[in-house]
Amino acid sequence: MLLSIGITGLANVGKSTLFKALTKIPVAISNYPFTTIEPNTGIVAVPDERLEKIAKVCNSKEIIPTTIKFVDIAGLVKGAHKGEGLGNQFLAHIREVDVILHVVRCFKGENVVHVEKTVDPIRDIDIVNTELLLKDLETISKRKEKVEKDAKRGEKEAIFELEVLNELKETLSKGEMVVHYLEKSDDEKRKIVKGIFLLSSKPQIYLLNNSENSVSSELKNKMSEQKAFYLALSLRDELDISELSEKEIEELGLKSKLKELIEKCYKILDVITFFTIKSDKTQAWTVERGAKIIDAAEKIHSDFAEKFAKAEVINWEKLVNLGGWKDAHEKGEIKIVGHDYIVQEGDVVEIKHS
């Protein structure tokens, strides 16, 4: 389950700078719009201090963290939903990711061109979100044309979907993101929305590109009012830190906030981490919250799900405190579970199969 985060926003806000700092992959960073045409992609390890602790008590020589894919999508412009600035192409890239990481320019930087001529973070946020909403309205209108024909023939599924589409249209027309509609919907409605692939149905994290104390209180208030996930950090500083060695970072007393950003991305996806210990290797895995042990087994190996017999499970912290798998077994602290067990955050799992 490789989760993907789409880095987007207006042009020249720091998206490629963030991508380079996160992935250490050289990308073009220039003082003009559309430096990025085709999206850059990079795989980033999710920091997890538990891995080393588990590996230590279990004498594992190899540690494999779970990962996230970051996609550096070209900057949007006003009118993107109509194709302005190659907008249709860029919006299509957003459709393919799990989470939108919305980079907002808060720094002045007169030497860096702003596509709207002035720096106004709240205006910029509204421009990008409006483009997502307008594209979604277009998608819903096209979908309605097809569904209305089936609904007129009395097809129950089409009648229900048409009801959902009308609710979505009303939500978007009020300037509200579909993700807020989903928060108030039941599973049946969520299933329909998922099948339409709406841009504003994706959770967003706002990255305010400036140091925390330089971000206006007005913008912070907007984030609070929207109950938005956000993080303020200077991407130029983060890029500089990323180019230093660990020793240099320690000697200069610097601290990156990228770890916090990666953790926020991971949490907003509402997934959990479980661990396995096998063949001298400790590995982290990702599943959706509420997944059953059979789903976890399939993540490890497709054969494990088909031949699943049972699983042995223990919380990672208990395992560490007991001194390892063997000691936990001897003290009777390992649970035996069946197909319907719901995997918990931090479970250490061993699948037994036929």
Tens digits of per-residue pLDDT, 246-273? Answer: 889 889 998 889 888 888 888 888 899 9
Residue that has been written with the tokens 């201090």 in this structure: 49
Contact at 8 Å (CB) between 186 and 204? no
Q: Taking Cα atoms as reference points, which of 100, 161, 98 lies closest to residue 133?
A: 100
Torsion, Cα 17 1 49 318, to 10 degrees, reads 160
Look up residue 332 and give its two tokens.
């009777």
Q: How far is it, in rounded angstroms, from Cα 178 to Cα 132? A: 10
Strand (E) or helix (H) holding 351: strand 347-353
- pTM value is 0.83
pLDDT in tens, 184-208: 999 999 999 999 999 999 999 999 9
What is the average per-residue pLDDT within 11-30? 73
Q: Which domains does the chain have, with CATH numbers?
A: 1-50+65-118+203-269 (3.40.50.300), 120-201 (1.10.150.300), 271-353 (3.10.20.30)
Look up residue 227 and give its two tokens.
């109950």
Q: Which residues of 257-271 are buried (b: 16+ CB within 10 A; e: fewer)?
A: bbeebbebbbebbeb
Q: What is the pLDDT of residue 87?
A: 44
